[in-house]
Chains A and B, each alone.
Chain A
């Protein structure tokens, strides 16, 4: 087992292997565009950038800490109820995040509404727990969680950027399109605010990513 081998020699905190865990989900193993996980919330919370960023942070915190906890417990978890244990840990973390948002960023928490609760069913979480945390040590698992959270968040923010810019003429709530442009006939595209455009925007991102990285193209 490779695990035992690495345990003997003390690895640096940010070895090449660990850095790869952080970098891969951003592009080659991106949870949304490559693994096509977590699409539902990506469609729902990307109308504006602020909720998208808070959602990205929430998912990152939950993936990182659930990965850490599950990985720390991995040798004690009875395999017959491991999915239940994972779910309970994830659910508890999500409730804590939801309560924190309600207490400190109430307006954003209202915008995210049910989607914070739905992080529990976000496939990225269960995917990372099953595929990574159950078989690896806490620190790499934690980094893996952060990496995947950021990979998810990156796509969310990119989609939200274009939807907010083209749909309401704003970036992070600030108007960026000058009044002169509006008076000369430019109009915000109402379709960008609706979920179908999120799907199309993600589609375009996937297209751009696949045409740039030949390794992702299916034969």
Chain B
């Protein structure tokens, strides 16, 4: 059937308007649920970095558990000064956006957790690049701001079975007890050593076989992000 140009124009306009309206309705309806998912995932990551077994916690209870463990959150700048004290605002900071700002304007979150044993741990976010896309995570330290308590890494699309292994317990477990400052209090961060780190190396962990570029990405991410926190960590260590 041959239709006139007028018919085709009116047809397409009506079609586009109907679909635009229905998509908007769906998006607006579902937005709260989607935002909750993103917030809960962030809470799960922060909790996982201080070794709370999040995979065993039902999704609905994550918020309660988070409030139980994470007692405070502050934002610091790269000079080590506290610039944000509202824990909710600190929670909503997106590292991806923060790292785009000039280094002096960045607000860097620090999450304080009280663990089951009564110890305090401090978790900070990480963000960097792997082989195919972004990688991110959290690393937490004991009260000396030097010894690693736990880590969590995740990635956008690293190679399954190779680079993607950074989100496994096997890789993340190696970080426990490692130190980021040397004897002279210089930040050395943690190296990911290809071929395996020596057992007595407190600044190195094993790399992933076949995931060299992702491993290097994790190493660079740790160094870059921890450098931003260096001033704050040193201030705390002196106390």
Q: Point out residues on A near B: beta carbons under 8 Å.
A: 47, 75-81, 84-85, 88-89, 92, 95-96, 99-100, 102-104, 106, 113, 167, 190, 193-194
Q: Which B residues are in CB contact (< 8 Å) with A75?
A: 1
State A70–B23 Cα separation when bound (angstroms): 18
Q: Which B residues are in CB contact (< 8 Å) with A103?
A: 30, 33-34, 37
Pairwise interchain contact B161-A190, C-beta atoms closer than 8 A? yes
Q: B-side binding surface: helix, strand, loop or mixed?
A: helix
Proximity bits, B1-32, A CB within 8 Å = 1, else 0: 11100011001100110010011001100100
Proximity bits, B85-128, A CB within 8 Å = 1, else 0: 00000000000000000000000000000000000000000000
Determine if B41 is an interface residue (Cβ-Cβ < 8 Å). Answer: yes
Q: Which B residues are in CB contact (< 8 Å) with A194?
A: 159-161
Q: Which residue of B lies closest to A89 (CB)?
A: B19
Q: Which B residues are in CB contact (< 8 Å) with A190?
A: 161
Pairwise interchain contact B161-A80, C-beta atoms closer than 8 A? no
What's the minimum C-beta distance from B32 to chain A, rounded to whole angstroms? 9
Pairwise interchain contact B11-A76, C-beta atoms closer than 8 A? yes
Pairwise interchain contact A88-B30, C-beta atoms closer than 8 A? no
Which one, A47, A88, A104, A106, contacts B16 given CB within 8 A?
A: A88
Q: Which A residues are in CB contact (< 8 Å) with B2?
A: 79
Pairwise interchain contact B33-A88, C-beta atoms closer than 8 A? no
Q: Which A residues are in CB contact (< 8 Å) with B196?
A: none
State A165–B92 Cα separation when bound (angstroms): 40
Q: Which A residues are in CB contact (< 8 Å) with B34?
A: 99, 102-103, 106
Determine if B157 is an interface residue (Cβ-Cβ < 8 Å). Answer: yes
Given A78-B11, A81-B8, A103-B37, are A113 and B30 also a contact pair (CB < 8 Å)? no
Q: Which A residues are in CB contact (< 8 Å) with B157?
A: 113
What's the minimum C-beta distance from A47 to chain B, rounded to whole angstroms? 6
State A99–B35 Cα separation when bound (angstroms): 11
Q: A-side binding surface: helix, strand, loop or mixed?
A: helix
Q: Which B residues are in CB contact (< 8 Å) with A193?
A: 160-161
Q: Which B residues are in CB contact (< 8 Å) with A92?
A: 19, 22-23
Pairwise interchain contact A80-B15, C-beta atoms closer than 8 A? no
Q: Which B residues are in CB contact (< 8 Å) with A167?
A: 161
State A3–B12 Cα separation when bound (angstroms): 27
Q: Which A residues are in CB contact (< 8 Å) with B27?
A: 99
State A95–B156 Cα separation when bound (angstroms): 20
Q: Which residue of B lies closest to A75 (CB)?
A: B1
Q: Which A residues are in CB contact (< 8 Å) with B23?
A: 92, 95-96
What's the minimum C-beta distance from B14 to chain A, rounded to whole angstroms? 10
Pairwise interchain contact B160-A79, C-beta atoms closer than 8 A? no
Pairwise interchain contact A99-B30, C-beta atoms closer than 8 A? yes
Given A76-B11, A81-B12, A104-B33, are A99 and B26 also a contact pair (CB < 8 Å)? yes
Q: Would you list 18 pairs from A and B whose C-beta atoms are within 8 A, ordered by A residue?
A: A78-B3, A78-B8, A79-B1, A79-B3, A80-B8, A85-B11, A88-B15, A88-B16, A92-B22, A95-B23, A96-B22, A102-B37, A103-B30, A103-B33, A103-B34, A104-B33, A106-B37, A194-B160
State A108–B217 Cα separation when bound (angstroms): 25
Pairwise interchain contact A100-B8, C-beta atoms closer than 8 A? no
Q: Which B residues are in CB contact (< 8 Å) with A79?
A: 1-3
What's the minimum C-beta distance from A103 to chain B, rounded to whole angstroms? 4
State A99–B33 Cα separation when bound (angstroms): 10
Q: Which residue of A lies closest to B1 (CB)?
A: A79
State A27–B160 Cα separation when bound (angstroms): 31
Within 8 A of A (CB), among B48-73: none
State A102–B34 Cα separation when bound (angstroms): 6
